[in-house]
Amino acid sequence: MHEFLFFMIGFLLGGVIGISIMCLMQINRIHAGSNARKEDDEK
């Protein structure tokens, strides 16, 4: 029973960490894209 409990805790923590990292990468990509567009408009 303890093995299953540890597996579920690890699975949930891994999922939360993975989703958080993916969201942060998307936010960073959106900001990088908008900065590139502003530079193109200024030229």
pLDDT of residue 42: 58
C-alpha angle 42-26-21 in degrees, rounded to nearest 5: 145
Q: What single-letter amino acid sits at 33?
A: G
Per-residue confidence (pLDDT) for residue 26, from 0 to 100: 92
From residue 25, alpha-carbon distances to 3, 14, 18, 19 in Å are 33, 16, 11, 10
Residue pLDDT, tens place only, 1-43:
899 999 999 999 999 999 999 999 998 888 887 765 565 555 5
Q: What is the pLDDT of residue 11?
A: 98
- pLDDT given for residue 34 in this prediction: 73
What is each CA distance from 30 to 19, 23, 25, 27, 33, in whole angstroms? 17, 11, 9, 5, 5
